[in-house]
């Protein structure tokens, strides 16, 4: 990341449509206490998601396993980076207990990148899915891993747990990938999504794109085409927001109208479900995404 240039740039003024009215209530407070009591991490908190209050009030949360220290230092991400020391094999059961206590219908399980582990944490992912299935079989489960270094056996280990949705984010356009993402590549992301669909064709795949790093309209359309070329089922698009001054600056704030137009373009290309808006994040309305994709897939059979 070009830190010197980032610090010298004057940040863009945040438009009115990105101003969030923070509201906390009993459900938010209860979930926060539950997370702390179970010693769990959520991407809602670690990534400073703008929808945390809405989602937690609606009893929806995304669990982040494998600790809270990532082995990668992506230019957009607020999660701590360094050399992880935590590998808690009891974590899957604690996540499952919390999912059950919260009465969730759909759980999203993501993780920091663990390039220090031989299987990149795939076995812990798989055990977490199985633990949730055992404790709350009516709950659908979505997984959101890193590219796991392109390790195909690790991918199979995770998919053998039969998650309901396999999510792997492309994050940005091809041209900007080296600047925005650490270690990950554009083609490897497409390969991971392709391999997932080839190995478990009945499991819907999903990917997310951040806007605001300097991409063009034509480049966004190309991402859509590339994702559909590997039969990706669900796409989400949202506005990148700079988490700290040390992270990449926002180059453009895309308007709600532009996001709406992009949703139309994505649906034209055959995605089974699309979420597109300034405050949309990968796991936003995840339960609705799962239901929509499942219905579309059933209708296509």
Residues 147-177: tens digit of each pLDDT: 999 999 999 999 999 999 999 999 999 999 9
Q: What is the pLDDT of residue 260?
A: 97
Is the distance from CB of 92 to CB of 226 less than 8 angstroms? no
- What CA–CA distance (Å, rounded) separates 278 from 260? 10
**Is residue 49 part of an annotated ligand binding site?**
yes
pTM of the model: 0.85
Using CA atoms, how far residue 38 sits from 70, 168, 193, in Å, is 21, 26, 32
**Is residue 77 part of an annotated ligand binding site?**
yes
Q: Where are the domains of the chain?
A: 3-9+22-300
Classify domain 3-9+22-300 at the CATH superfamily level.
Answer: Aldolase class I (3.20.20.70)
**Is residue 44 part of an annotated ligand binding site?**
yes
Mean pLDDT, residues 22-28: 60
Which of 118-132, 145-159, 214-228, 274-288 is the least confident region?
274-288
CA 106 to chain CA mean position, Å = 14
**Is residue 283 part of an annotated ligand binding site?**
yes
Tokens 């992009």 — which residue? 262
State the virtual CA torsion across 186, 187, 188, 192 in degrees, nearest 10: 110
pLDDT confidence of 19, banded at 50, 70, 90? confident
Choice between 9 and 3, residue whose per-residue pLDDT is larger: 9
CA 167 to chain CA mean position, Å = 7
**In the chain, what percentage of residues exceed pLDDT 70?**
76
- pLDDT tens figures, 59-115: 667 888 998 888 898 888 877 888 887 788 899 999 999 889 888 888 899 998 999
């Amino acid at each position: 990341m070009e830190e010197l240039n980032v610090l010298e740039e004057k940040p863009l003024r945040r438009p009115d449509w990105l101003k969030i009215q923070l509201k906390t209530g009993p459900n938010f407070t209860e979930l926060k206490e539950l997370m702390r009591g179970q010693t769990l991490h959520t991407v809602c908190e670690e990534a400073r998601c703008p929808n945390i209050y809405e989602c937690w009030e609606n009893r929806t949360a995304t669990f982040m396993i494998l600790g809270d220290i990532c082995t990668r230092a992506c230019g957009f991400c607020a999660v701590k980076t360094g050399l992880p020391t935590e590998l808690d094999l009891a974590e899957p059961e604690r996540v499952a207990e919390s999912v059950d206590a919260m009465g969730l219908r759909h759980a999203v399980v993501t993780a920091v990148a663990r390039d220090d582990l031989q299987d990149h944490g795939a076995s812990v992912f798989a055990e977490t899915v199985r633990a949730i299935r055992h404790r709350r079989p009516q709950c659908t489960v979505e997984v959101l891993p890193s590219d796991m270094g392109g390790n195909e056996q690790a991918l199979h280990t995770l998919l053998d747990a039969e998650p309901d949705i396999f999510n792997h984010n492309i994050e940005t356009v091809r041209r900007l990938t080296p600047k925005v993402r650490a270690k990950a590549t554009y083609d490897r992301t497409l390969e991971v999504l392709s391999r997932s669909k080839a190995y478990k064709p009945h499991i819907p795949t999903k990917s997310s794109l951040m806007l605001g790093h300097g991409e063009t309209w034509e480049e966004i359309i190309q991402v859509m085409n590339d994702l559909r070329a590997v039969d990706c089922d669900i796409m989400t698009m949202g506005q990148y927001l700079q988490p700290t001054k040390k992270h990449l600056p926002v180059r453009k704030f895309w308007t709600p109208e532009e996001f709406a137009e992009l949703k139309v373009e994505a649906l034209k290309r055959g995605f089974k479900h699309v979420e597109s808006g300034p405050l949309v994040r990968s796991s936003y309305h995840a339960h609705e995404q799962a239901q929509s994709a499942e219905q579309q897939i059933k209708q296509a059979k």
